[in-house]
Copies of this chain bind each other. A is one copy, B any other.
């Protein structure tokens, strides 16, 4: 089932790649959430204050939440990298983790990919259960 979504993702990611907004980044990330039969795409969004930009993965997650989705089946990240698969940054791993463990597809430009579970990418992760353990 992931394969179908992944193929759909690959095709559409080519089209969204030109949407990335930025002054600097040439290594553009693309990201998809496939849940049920839905596929949502994000892109990186930069800012003249570099540090206020947002990675493609977090753009996609936040967008999905604002559309009412909070359960995701898998995530895929595409890029123009030719010689290695593209991993999410630590901040994106943390934001994905908020929505549970899920497969993360990290791809190369040729469409080949490596899949790892989020828990493998962010072992011993911080989460809401750490907050609940505190008296409020």
Contact = CB atoms under 8 A, between A and B. Distances in A.
A19 to B, nearest CB: 5
Nearest to A50: B50
A130 to B, nearest CB: 6
A83 interface: yes
> What band does the interface of chain A fall in when counting residues whose beta carbon is under 8 Å from B?
35 or more
B50 A46 contact: yes
A66 B43 contact: yes
A124 B114 CA distance: 11
Contact of A47 (B19, B49, B98): B98
Given A62-B63, A63-B59, A66-B42, A52 B91 contact: yes
Contacts of A127: 48
